[in-house]
Chain A
Amino acid sequence: MYDYIIIGTGPSGGNIAHNLFKAGANILVLEAGKLMNKKTFPRTEADTSARLYWGGGIEFDTDAKMGFLRTRVVGGTSIVNQCLLDRFDDIAFNDWKAESGVNWFTNEQLAKHYDTVEHALALHTFTANEMNRNAQLFTQSCDKIGVKWGYLRKGQSDCAQERGNDCMACLGGCHRDSKQSSYAGYLRDDIAAGLNIQTETEVTQIVNNGNTVTLHALQQGKPLTFQAKNIVLAGGAFGTTKMLLQSGFKKQLPALGKNFSTHPQFMSFGLFNEEIHAYKGYFQTVASKDPNLRQKGYKLENVFAPPISAAMLFSRTGAYHQEIMRNYTRMTCIEVAVRDENAGEIKVDNKGKLTIDKPFTAQDRRRRDEGRELIANILTNEGAKKVYASPFSVGLHLMGGSVMGTDSAKSVVDPEFRVHGYKNMFVADSSIYPNAPGINPSLTIMALAQKLSDQLIGANHGI
Chain B
Amino acid sequence: MASNYLSNSALKAINRIGDMMIPRNGEFPSFSEVGGIAYIDDLVSYAPPADIKDLNLLLTILAFMPNFVLRWLLNRMENSMESSGPLAPIFRMLDVGLRGLIFSCYYTEKIPASYTGKKPLDIIGFDLTRVED
Binding site for B on A (CB under 8 A): 38, 43-47, 49-51, 56-58, 60, 62-65, 67, 160, 163-166, 168-169, 175-176, 277, 279-280, 306-308, 311-312, 315-319, 321-322, 325-326, 328-329, 391-392
For A311, give its contact among B42, B45, B107 (CB under 8 Å).
B107
Min Cβ gap A313→B in Å is: 10
Q: Smallest CB–CB gap between B50 and chain A, Å?
A: 9
User: Can you list 17 A-B contacts (CB < 8 A)?
Assistant: A44-B109, A45-B104, A49-B100, A49-B104, A56-B46, A60-B89, A60-B93, A64-B89, A160-B133, A163-B131, A166-B130, A312-B100, A317-B99, A318-B25, A319-B25, A322-B28, A391-B81
Which listed residue (A51, A175, A326) contacts B123, Cβ 8 A?
A326
A65 proximity list for chain B (CB < 8 A) = 81, 89, 92
7 new A-B contacts at CB < 8 Å, known A46-B42, A315-B78: A49-B43, A60-B96, A166-B128, A307-B103, A307-B121, A308-B103, A318-B22
A62 to B92, CA, bound (A): 11
Instruction: Tell me which residues from 7 to 54 in chain B have a Cβ below 8 Å from any Cβ of chain A.
Output: 20-23, 25-26, 28, 42-47, 51
Q: Chain B residues near A44: list those with CB within 8 A.
A: 108-110
Q: How far, in whole Å, are A306 and B124 apart by their CA atoms in the complex?
A: 11
Q: Are A322 and B26 in contact, CB atoms less than 8 angstroms apart?
A: yes
User: With an 8 A cutoff between CB atoms, is B74 at the interface?
Assistant: yes
Instruction: Name A170's closest neighbour in chain B (CB-CB).
Output: B130
A392 in contact with B81 (CB, 8 Å): yes
With most chain B CB atoms within 10 A of its CB, the pick from A38, A165, A280, A322 is A322
Bound Cα distance from A438 to B121, whole angstroms: 35
Query: Which residues on the A side are within 8 Å of B104 (C-beta)?
Result: 45-46, 49-50, 308
User: In the complex, what's the smallest C-beta–C-beta distance from A357 to chain B, in angstroms?
Assistant: 12
Q: List 10 A-B pairs, minimum CB-CB distance, nearest first.
A: A64-B92, A46-B104, A317-B21, A165-B131, A64-B89, A329-B125, A307-B107, A328-B124, A160-B131, A391-B81
Q: Write the chain B residue with the least CB distance to A309.
A: B103
- Pick from A46, A47, A326, A329 the residue with the most CB of B within 10 Å: A46
**Contact yes or no, A315 B131, CB < 8 A:** no
Contact B78 A279 (CB under 8 A): no
* Residues of A contacting B28 in the complex (Cβ-Cβ under 8 angstroms): 322, 326
Which A residues touch B89, using CB under 8 A?
Answer: 60, 62-65
- Which residues of A are found within 8 Å of B124, using beta-carbon distances? 307, 325-326, 328-329
| Bitwise interface map of B from 71 to 106 toward A, beta carbon under 8 Å scored 1, else 0 | 000100011011000001110110110011001110
Min CB distance A20 to B, Å, is 31
Contact residue among B21, B105, B129 (Cβ-Cβ distance under 8 Å from A321): B21
How distant is the Cα of A51 from the Cα of B43 in the complex, in angstroms? 8
A323 to B51, CA, bound (A): 33
Cβ contacts under 8 Å, A63 to chain B: 88-89, 92
User: Could you say which residues of chain A place their CB within 8 Å of the CB of B20?
Assistant: 317-318
For the complex, count residues of B whose C-beta is within 8 A of A: 47
The reply to whether B131 and A176 form a contact with Cβ atoms under 8 Å apart is yes
Residues in chain B near residue A176, CB distance under 8 A: 131-133
State the Cβ distance, A173 to closest chain B Cβ, in Å. 11
Residues of B within 8 A of A50 (CB): 42-47, 104
**B125, A317: Cβ atoms closer than 8 Å:** no
Q: Is B105 a contact partner of A46 (Cβ separation < 8 A)?
A: yes
Residue on A nearest B47 in the bound complex, by CB: A56
Contacts of B68 in A (CB 8 A): none
Given the contacts A160-B131, A279-B126, A326-B123, A56 and B43 also touching, CB distance less than 8 Å: yes
Q: Which residues does chain A contribute within 8 Å of B121, judged by CB atoms?
A: 307
Q: Is the Cβ of B103 less than 8 Å from the Cβ of A164?
A: no
Complex Cα gap A166–B107 (Å)? 18
**B130: contacting residue among A175, A307, A316, CB under 8 A:** A175
Chain A: CB-nearest residue to B109: A44
Is there an interface contact between A311 and B99, defined as CB atoms closer than 8 Å?
A: yes
Cβ of B107 and Cβ of A316 under 8 Å apart?
no
**A306 to chain B: which residues have CB within 8 Å?**
126, 128
Q: Would you call A315 and B81 a contact (CB within 8 A)?
A: yes
Query: Which chain B residues border A311 with CB–CB below 8 Å?
Result: 99, 103, 107
Complex CA distance for A444 and B128, rounded to whole angstroms: 32
When distances are taken between beta carbons in the complex, the residues of chain A under 8 Å from B105 are: 46
Contact B100 A58 (CB under 8 A): yes
Nearest-neighbour CB distance to chain B for A122, whole angstroms, equals 16
User: In the bound complex, how far is the Cα of B70 from the Cα of A197, in angstroms?
Assistant: 48
Question: Separation in Å of the B94 CB from the closest CB of chain A?
Answer: 9
Chain B proximity of A170: nearest CB distance (Å): 9
Q: Enumerate chain A residues within 8 angstroms of B45, measured Cβ to Cβ.
A: 50
A321 to B100, CA, bound (A): 14
CB distance from A64 to the nearest CB of B (A): 4
Chain B CB count within 10 A is highest, among A45, A63, A163, A166, for: A45
Contacts of B130 in A (CB 8 A): 43, 165-166, 169, 175
* Bound CA span A50–B43, Å: 5
* Most chain A Cβ neighbours within 10 Å, of B20, B28, B105: B28
Q: How far is the CA of A175 from the CA of B129 in the complex (A)?
A: 12
Q: Which residues of A contact B99 (CB under 8 A)?
A: 311-312, 317
| B128 and A168 form a contact (CB under 8 A) | yes
Given known A58-B100, A63-B89, contact A51–B46 (CB-CB < 8 A): yes
B25 touches which of A64, A67, A322, A392 (Cβ 8 Å): A322
Cα A65 to Cα B28 in complex, Å, equals 30
Q: In the complex, what residue of chain B is closest to A58 when comparing beta carbons?
A: B96
